Amino acid sequence: MLPKMLSMLPAFLAYFAVAVALIAAFLLVYVNVTPYDEVALIRQGNSAAAISLSGAMLGFAMPVANVIAHSDTLGDLAAWGAIAGVIQILAYLVARFALPHLTEDIPAGKVAPATFLAALSLTIGLTNAACMTY
């Protein structure tokens, strides 16, 4: 059992490293698409920023996790991860359209719009993950 696990360790580390890189890249893009600084707001104790960013991160991580479970190559993971990121960014832009004051509400700490944005991100992420089963 242990020798088999050790032989699989390089593949695990490779997939994990690519997944972490994808998550970091997604977060970097996401926080630069939003007109407010989620990290600074979270450091100040803004629950709305924490809720909305957490939803986006989880909504992105779900399809990435699903692709890890079903992909054959790291290239598949990277390509589908990029697609998942684009879809999450589009979900944020739809939320901004649906809630025109979202860009003021999150910095103001309004939890209701942040919760809606998080739920939308999770819903899109779950649907996205299901579509990436092949």
CA distance 32 to 109: 19
CA distance 11 to 99: 43
What phi and psi values does residue 98 have, to the nearest 5 degrees? -70, -30
The domains of the chain are located at 37-131
pLDDT of residue 3 exceeding 90: no
pLDDT confidence of residue 22: 98
Mean pLDDT, residues 70-92: 95
DSSP state of 76: H
Tell me the whole-structure pTM to 2 decimals: 0.93
